[in-house]
Amino acid sequence: MENTNINETKMPLIGDSLPQMKVVTTHGVKLLPDDYAGKWLVLFSHPADFTPVCTTEFVAFAKRVGQFKELNCELLGLSIDQVFAHIKWGEWIEEKLGVEIPFPIIADDGTVGKRLGMIHPNQGSNTVRAVFIIDPKGIVRAILYYPQELGRNMDEIVRMVKGLQVVDKNKVSLPANWPNNELIKDHVIVPPPKDVKTAKERLQSKEFECYDWWLCHKKL
């Protein structure tokens, strides 16, 4: 495993570029994030191959590959296991559960996991369940962490990728539980005004629906 920024120890945060790393995967060597330029990427870690919760997660991810593809988004797994273990586990899932794992899995020696903050000391030497959502420019847009005993909600990850794309395209914000928000349903939130004049005009606008000048929404 090679890390081209081996001396850089600060983990990337939201808004940072994903550090360049050369990784070994079940689909060959890949350079991150360059090999995914122009695409969204969900990079996720799991504690270990041949474990119950991780197996259910990989089946869930695999069954949603089509949804991610429609969003121009690729999946990339990771754990501190060797390539042969990843391959054998994938074969087991396909043979026993009838689901093919179509996305690559990084075989990490701990270098990548440490670089991305996926190894938490009080959780042992395995990676926790981390998710990094990376945009087509290689920028980290969202980070999620789950404990080893709690499997992820894959539909939420799909929603986040879809939502971030809506945000970027329309320069808006999204409410809780979008697109099924309790107050504004599938509407989006428009940016608040930046001056007094615009604030006063906002409530008179026919373009938006407003609870007040600072909370206005519209249907795309």
Which CATH number belongs to the domain containing residue 38 in this structure?
3.40.30.10
Domain boundaries, position 66 = 21-152
Percent of the chain predicted with pLDDT > 90? 85
Number of domains, the chain? 2
Sequence letter at residue 24: V
pLDDT at 120: 84
**Measured distance between the N- and C-terminal CA atoms of the chain, rounded to whole angstroms:** 45
Q: Which of 54, 73, 210, 216 is catalytic?
A: 54
- Does one domain contain both 136 and 205? no
CA distance 180 to 165: 17
Q: Is the pLDDT of residue 6 over 70?
A: no
- Rounded to 5 degrees, φ, ψ at 8 are -90, 115
Residue 153 has pLDDT above 70, yes or no: yes
Dump the DSSP string for 99-128. ----S-EEE-SSHHHHHTT---GGG-SS--
Least-confidence region, from 1-5, 30-34, 81-85, 105-109? 1-5
pTM of the model: 0.92
Tell me if residue 187 falls in helix, strand or coil.
Answer: coil
* Shared-domain flag, residues 118 and 199: no
pLDDT category at 13 given cuts 50, 70, 90 is very high
d(CA 213, CA 193): 8
Q: Please check the confidence at residue 8 and state whether its pLDDT lies above 90.
A: no
Whether residue 146 is found in the same domain as residue 175: no
The verdict on 127 and 177 lying in the same domain is no
Write the pLDDT tens digit of every residue in 106-134.
Answer: 999 999 999 999 988 776 678 889 999 99
Active site includes 216?
no
Tell me, yes or no, whether 36 lies in a domain: yes
Residue 7 has pLDDT above 70, yes or no: no
Is 185 in the same domain as 132?
Answer: no
The one-letter amino acid code at 45 reads S
CATH number at residue 195: 3.30.1020.10
Q: pLDDT per residue over 74-108, tens digit each?
A: 999 999 999 999 999 999 999 999 999 999 999 99
Average pLDDT of the segment spanning 179-195: 96
